[in-house]
Structure 1
Amino acid sequence: MSAEATVKPLFGLIAAILVFTSERNLFTTWQWSGDWVRTKGGRAMRKLLAGVAFAATMALAGQVSAANLLVNGSFETGDFTGWTEGGNFSYTTVEPNSFGYGAEQGNYYVYEGPIGSDGTLSQTFSDMPGATLLISGWIAGNGTIPSDVNYIFDGVTVFTLNPVPSQGYVNYTATVRATGLDTFTVGFRNDPSFDALDNFSVTAVPEASTWAMMVLGFAGLGFAGFRARRTAVAAL
């Protein structure tokens, strides 16, 4: 399950709670003012829940934009720093925006066109065993054949684009399971012409249970704070 598919229902639940308490003015507190007077605590509770929602949003946003396990995934060094070159690496260069396709984002991209067999770029990195990883990259092409782009994870092909269509940059992804020490490889060729590659990333994707525990934790802390405040007021 993607991070986006999990986040949306959870935020919807938080919004529903806020609406429910707002409409019904739930939760009351008592205070002494010459006589016991019941006062509505709905407004305070709504503010508290809004704070909980905001804190959860910030935490989830930080998780969604998880760190890229790849070094120089966007080739912004202007070269292949961090990558290991392999296979048929002829006719493969890092080029600036002013040349060919231009970058998908940033100032540089890979301009590739090996003939007869694939060239490869690979990186090995440490990760959390058992974690779900999202592989992402952007590919542009002119529709010539034979051509292909492949994502390979620990020697197993997990995505193939063959041939590369005539298109501007399109994002292609694959989901894999981490082992603790893994290798990502992108293979590519375009015999009669050239294709473009840019903005590769490998990021950890929190499981659904992780999102749920995070939101419930924030909600629990918020409600505990509200209870403490109500107890303090009632004791006056």
Structure 2
Amino acid sequence: MTSFLAGAAGAVELVQNGGFETGDFTDWTLTGNTGATYVGTSPNAPHSGAWAAELGAVGSDDFMSQVLTTTAGQVYNLSFWHIYAPNAGPIGNFAVLWNNVAVFGPVPSQSPPTPQVWTQYNLQVTGTGSDTLTIESRNDPSEQGIDDISVTAAVRGGVPEPATWALLLSGFFGAGALLRRRRGAMAAA
């Protein structure tokens, strides 16, 4: 039971520079309309740390992506924090893609765009061995922010694997046999 719980505490982070604390897009690949896409502190103060990604593509989408090494068939927790700038315009979108398939969004244009406070989103995705995480955005004429992007292996529920059950049951049977043997020895004495 202890080793089962210890696995949750030791989750390995797969996203590199998910909080943008290098002050730039190290480990990320930028494509599309990236002219107004940068790592900064304004107009959206970071969710945590010193930096956040400010996504400000106007007229067409920008994309930031990272290839992650995963285990095929493993379920992963994908989480991120997102915000629109308080003066954001109604034209824009935001989507998160896993292997070019939208797992969040696209969030359609609205006026005013929401959320205008940092909001956390949690999703689950399945690994294939090598997976591409992509953030797609556009926001005319202002920015939206993303920070603290994380992908970690999902911890299984509280149901032990068959080998764990076998070990647990053999321990119970062994303890029962030992108690039965002691009772028999005491009765004979």
Give the one of 81, 102, 106 matched to 1:138.
Answer: 81
Deviations 1:43-93 (A, max 9, x none): xxxxxxxxx5xx26732532xx62221111111111111100111101111
Matched, 1:58 2:5: yes
Distance between the aligned counterparts of 1:219 and 1:74, measured in 2?
Answer: 43
Match of 1:121 among 64, 81, 97: 64
User: Could you tell me whether the CA contact under 8 Å between 1:111 and 1:194 is conserved in 2?
Assistant: yes
Per the TM alignment, residue 124 of structure 1 is displaced from its structure 2 partner at its CA by 0.7
Describe how 1:129-208 pairs up with structure 2 within 5 A: 129-141=72-84, 142=86, 143-160=88-105, 161-163=107-109, 164-208=113-157
Task: Give a deviation string over 1:179-233, Cα, whole Å, max 9, x none.
Answer: 111111001111111111101112222444xx41259838954982895498389
Counterpart of 1:217 in structure 2 is 164
Partner Cα distance (1:199, 1:214) in 2: 32
Shift in CA distance, 215/197, structure 1 to aligned 2, threshold 3 Å: farther
Q: Distance in 2 between matches of 1:166 and 1:225?
A: 53
TM-score relative to the length of structure 1 = 0.64
Deviation (angstroms), 1:177:
2.0
Structure 2 distance, partners of 1:225, 1:152, is 48
State the TM-score, normalizing by the size of structure 2.
0.79
Asked if 1 retains the 8 angstrom alpha-carbon contact of 2:7 and 2:155, the reply is no
Secondary structure at the counterpart of residue 173 of structure 1: strand
Partner deviation per Cα, 1:18-41 (whole Å, 9 max, x = no partner): xxxxxxxxxxxxxxxxxxxxxxxx
Name stretches of at least 5 consecutive residues in structure 2 with no aligned partner. Answer: none
Q: Which of 35, 51, 72 pairs up with 1:90?
A: 35
Partner amino acid, structure 1, of 2:8: A
Tell me, in whole angstroms, the C-alpha distance in 1 between the residues paired with 2:177 and 2:91: 71
Specify the code of the residue in structure 2 equivalent to 1:212.
V
Deviation at 1:147, TM superposition (A): 2.0
Q: Structure 1 runs of 4+ off > 4 angstroms?
A: 218-223, 225-230
CA 1:126/1:61 → structure 2, altered by over 3 Å: closer, same or farther? closer
Higher share in helix: 1
Of structures 1 and 2, the larger Rg is shown by: 1
| SS, match of residue 105 in structure 1 | coil
Cα deviation, residue 103, structure 1:
1.2
Residue segments in structure 1 that go unaligned for 5+ positions in a row: 1-51
The alignment yields a C-alpha RMSD, in angstroms, of: 2.9
Residues 166/177 of structure 1: CA separation in 2 closer, same or farther (3 Å cut): closer
Query: In the aligned structure 2, how far is the partner of 1:170 from the partner of 1:219?
Result: 44
Partner of 1:29: none
